[in-house]
């Protein structure tokens, strides 16, 4: 998983705007994002992410939310317009994991965030 | 901070994908409530989750035991399942016998066992083909 370090400069609200994303779960979007990662392999997330990472993923299942809980991620962005089902969103709500959904693909979403983080340094 | 040892055992069923990871998130909650250092909690949660996924993906059933003492947190995993024919090979990053179904869930890339070992201060694995696999992981709590 690729990680962009030292990015404590974007809030989840800014991420939502940059990615033209829909908020699927989460009330407080003022949370600062410490790091970003993009991966479809959850074992990579578990082995390389640091606490506070925002995960961009094209994988949509319950294990994504459980991985976010276990690895102390600050939120999940589902890319390519993929819609999590009610069970996934209910687990996210229960565990207070913010979830965004964007129509952008992984490359475009990661690219936009990379540029925004670089410019804000 | 806890004053004495705490032990708890959780049961896990093979192929129970909808519930895969529940035990580990529950272990994480328990440790957090005990006031264990967040980085120790995270390491144990990751170890437990990888082990739980392995158990669900490969074994028939098994149990995960959590033990918290003053100086460390340990996890014992004991499953009834096919066992691992070559443990040394299974410990290599990237070696995998996963099915496409497992890979579609985001696991099964041969990262689980190496990742478990990486997060452990003490690690032990033993396996008998046709019977099952045992794992022991200990994470030391800094004084």
- Cβ contact A43–B118 (<8 Å): no
pLDDT at A2: 58
Q: Which one has a higher pLDDT value, B119 or A6? A: B119
- A79 vs A5: CA distance, rounded Å: 21
Closest CA to A3 of A59, A65, A101, A73: A73
How near does any CA of chain B get to the CA of A109, in Å? 20
Tell me: pLDDT of A25 over 50: yes
Please identify among residues 3-22 of chain A the ones whose CB lies closer than 8 Å to any CB of chain B.
Answer: none
A31 secondary structure, DSSP code: P
Q: What is the mean pLDDT of chain A?
A: 93
How near does any CA of chain A get to the CA of B33, in Å? 15
Chain A residue numbers touching B57 (CB-CB < 8 A): none
Q: pLDDT per residue over A100-109, tens digit each?
A: 999 999 999 9
- Cβ contact A67–B49 (<8 Å): yes
pLDDT at A1: 65
Tell me: pLDDT of A79 over 50: yes
Q: Identify the structural domains of chain B with CATH numbers, from first to last.
A: 6-140 (3.30.565.10)
Instruction: Burial-class residue A108 by CB neighbours within 10 Å (0-12, 13-18, 19+).
Output: middle
B101 secondary structure, DSSP code: H
- Cβ contact B107–A42 (<8 Å): yes
- Cβ contact A43–B18 (<8 Å): no
- Cβ contact B46–A70 (<8 Å): yes
Phi, psi of A67 (to 5 degrees): -65, -40
- Cβ contact A43–B106 (<8 Å): yes
Tokens of A94: 């229960």
Q: Are B75 and B66 within 8 A, CB to CB?
A: yes
Among the partner residues B28, B39, B111, nearest to A43 by beta-carbon distance? B111
Tell me: pLDDT of A5 over 70: no
Domain ranges of chain A: 2-120
Tokens of B121: 């201060």
Q: pLDDT per residue over A26-52, tens digit each?
A: 999 999 998 999 999 999 999 999 999
Which stretch of A5-9, A54-58, A99-103, A109-113 has the lowest confidence by average pLDDT? A5-9
pLDDT at B101: 86
Q: Quick one: pLDDT band at residue A4, thresholds 50, 70, 90?
A: low
Question: Given CB atoms, is B21 within the 8 Å cutoff of chain A?
Answer: yes
How near does any CA of chain A get to the CA of B77, in Å? 18
The mean per-residue pLDDT over the stretch A76-101 comes to 97
Q: Quick one: pLDDT band at residue A9, thresholds 50, 70, 90?
A: confident
Mutate which of B24, B49, B75, B118 to test chain A, going by most A C-beta atoms within 10 A? B49
pLDDT at B64: 98
pLDDT at A7: 44
Helices and strands counted in chain A (H then E): 5, 8
Architecture of the domain defined by A2-120? 3-Layer(aba) Sandwich (3.40)
Would you give per-residue pLDDT tens digits along chain B (143 residues)? 555 689 999 999 999 999 999 999 999 999 999 999 999 999 999 999 999 999 999 999 999 999 999 999 999 999 999 999 999 999 999 999 999 888 989 998 889 999 999 999 999 999 999 999 999 999 999 76
């Amino acid at each position: 998983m690729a990680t962009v370090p030292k990015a404590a400069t974007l809030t989840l609200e800014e991420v939502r705007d940059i990615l033209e994303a829909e908020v699927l779960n989460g009330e407080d979007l003022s949370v600062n994002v410490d790091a970003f990662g993009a991966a479809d392999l959850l074992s990579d997330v578990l082995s390389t992410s640091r606490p506070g990472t925002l995960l961009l993923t094209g994988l949509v299942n319950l294990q994504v939310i459980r991985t976010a809980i276990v690895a102390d991620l600050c939120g999940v962005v589902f890319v390519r317009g993929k819609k999590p089902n009610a069970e996934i969103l209910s687990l996210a709500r229960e565990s207070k994991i913010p979830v965004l959904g964007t129509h952008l693909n992984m490359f475009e979403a990661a690219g936009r965030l990379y540029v925004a983080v670089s410019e804000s340094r | 901070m806890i004053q004495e040892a705490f032990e708890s055992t959780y049961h896990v069923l093979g192929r129970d994908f909808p519930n895969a990871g529940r035990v580990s998130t529950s272990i994480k909650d328990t440790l957090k409530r005990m006031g264990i250092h967040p980085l120790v909690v995270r390491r144990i949660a990751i170890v437990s989750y990888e082990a739980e996924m392995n158990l669900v993906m490969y074994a028939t059933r098994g149990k995960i035991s959590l033990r918290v003492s003053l100086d460390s947190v340990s996890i014992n995993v004991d499953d009834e399942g096919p066992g691992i024919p070559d443990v040394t090979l299974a410990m290599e990053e990237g070696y995998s016998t996963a099915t496409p179904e497992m890979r579609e869930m985001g696991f099964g890339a041969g990262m689980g066992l190496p990742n478990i070992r990486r997060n452990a201060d003490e690690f032990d694995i033993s396996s008998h083909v046709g019977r099952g696999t045992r794992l022991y992981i200990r994470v030391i709590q800094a004084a």
